[in-house]
Amino acid sequence: MRKRYLILITAVVAASIIGYAGILNSRIINESKPADQIGQNKPPDNNSDGNTATDPVQAQINTMSLEEKVGQLVMVGINGYENDANSIQLIKNHHVGGFVLLKQNVKDTKQMLALINSLKDTNSVNKIPLFLAIDEEGGRISRMPDEFMKIPSSQRIGELNNSELSYQLGGILGDELKSFGLNMDFAPVLDVNSNPKNPVIGDRAFGNEPSLVRKLGIQTMKGLQSRNIISVVKHFPGHGDTSVDSHVGLPTVNHDLDRLNSLELVPFEAAIENNAEAIMMAHILLPKIDSHNPASFSEKIISDLLRKDLNFKGVVITDDITMGAVVNNYDIGEVAVKSINAGSDIVLVCHDYLKEEAVIKAIQKAAENGNISMDRIDQSVYRILTLKLKYAVTDRVVKSVDPQIINNKINALFRDFPSLKG
């Protein structure tokens, strides 16, 4: 039965390609194909045009302009509670691939849903639906409206050291996002909190032992994925032993590769082996690996360590490049170009429309003058569209949200795990 269904889907894809003169509308495919029916496609060979009759992603790429491709490489933030003129411009003129909602964008459930739906409506002019992301880790890093019960921190989950609890909490986080029509969570944190004086990670980590972080982090990731939410594990290659907050300045971590392999990389390597599909890069400098470039735009760390050594085939996203670690030390446009060339797929720009526009223009200019090759751009676009297709990302609006449905699940979890309240 499954085989017959896949044959039917292939026929639908082929018919769509023919019917639209080679233009594959990903919205049609997304709404007809469940996520678990789509395999992990590999980026096209640089020396091959791809077989578009059997590869809907390559067919879509072949219809895209340079501006549309560049847009997919950028995720942006919004200023305030509404879809304003700037965000409309980013969608209609720059074809951005996605948005992230921050605490400053959330007033209450009704407003948050209206904002998300408005972004989706605006994006109807584009071929490709939006990534819509949020930082929802539990604990102090939560963007959910106040109508939702708070979920305990990862540190608390680590203290209980229960894999089933971690999986169920991941599922509830996924339910929260799905109720609003979001499709991506910048979570879980896979940093090992090995430095108790770390100013930025702390209780966001499951603990200070790599085996614990590995076990519980993977279960939270799987819980999110079980709800068809893209889990972006973070902050590679590990932000747990820093003494500087990268929101303010650039941390330096003087560890060599042997140390990273024995501690910081343990959870990430295991996550990759367990089908992690997106990873966020940290803004940290590791001079014993790359003395010139922070991890978020280091070819040695992204292409060599993450992609080659750890064999990661998924989507690489930078942490927000408007953070102090970047803007206080580098030109933001140059960083965006270097990050793409280093192997990143998506540059995250959370604040300031002028910075968002500067990043898009810098990538566009670099592509036009050959400083970023078209092969390099197409590789990233291929990975991005494959992930959107796999998770059936759409711009369908959600009519209403009932926080009580989620709160009932959280209350049930507290009943099942009484010590969770601590």
Q: What percent of the chain has pLDDT over 70?
A: 85
Tokens 């501006």 map to which residue? 67
CATH class of the domain at 64-421: alpha beta
Between strands 347-349 and 74-76, the pairing is parallel
Confidence of residue 25 (pLDDT cuts 50, 70, 90): very low
Tokens 């898009």 map to which residue? 360
Q: What is the pLDDT of residue 315?
A: 99
Please compute the mean of the pLDDT values over residues 159-165 and round it to a whole number.
97
Kindly provide the residue ranges of all beta strands, DSSP E only, lying in 243-391, ordered along the sequence: 278-281, 315-318, 347-349
pLDDT in tens, 48-84: 444 556 899 999 999 999 999 999 999 999 999 999 9
Q: Are 182 and 116 in contact (CB under 8 A)?
A: yes
Q: What percent of the chain has pLDDT over 90?
A: 80
What are the catalytic residues?
Answer: 247, 319
DSSP 380: H
pLDDT at 7 over 50: no
**CA distance linking residue 149 with residue 403, whole number of Å:** 8
Q: What is the pLDDT of residue 247?
A: 72
Please compute the mean of the pLDDT values over residues 118-133 and round it to a whole number.
98
Contacts of residue 414, defined as CB under 8 A and 6 or more positions apart, other chains included, come to 420, 421
Length of the chain in terms of residues written: 422
| The two structure tokens encoding residue 349 | 């720009």
* Residue with more model confidence, 49 or 191: 191
Confidence of residue 11 (pLDDT cuts 50, 70, 90): very low
Give the Å distances, CA to CA, from 253 to 213, 244, 306, 338: 20, 10, 17, 21
Domain ranges for the chain:
64-421
Q: What is the pLDDT of residue 24?
A: 40
pLDDT at 19 over 60: no
pLDDT at 5 over 60: no
Please compute the mean of the pLDDT values over residues 164-189 and round it to a whole number.
98
> In this structure, how many other beta carbons lie within 10 angstroms of the beta carbon of residue 119?
24
Confidence of residue 197 (pLDDT cuts 50, 70, 90): confident
Measured distance between the N- and C-terminal CA atoms of the chain, rounded to whole angstroms: 48
Kindly provide the residue ranges of all beta strands, DSSP E only, lying in 211-357, ordered along the sequence: 230-236, 278-281, 315-318, 347-349
Q: What is the pLDDT of residue 53?
A: 63
Closest CA to 112 of 172, 171, 176, 169: 176
Q: What is the pLDDT of residue 203?
A: 92
Q: What is the pLDDT of residue 52?
A: 59
pLDDT in tens, 267-311: 999 999 999 999 999 999 999 999 999 999 999 999 999 999 999
Helix (H/G/I), strand (E/B), else coil: 25 = coil
Mean predicted lDDT score pLDDT of the chain: 89
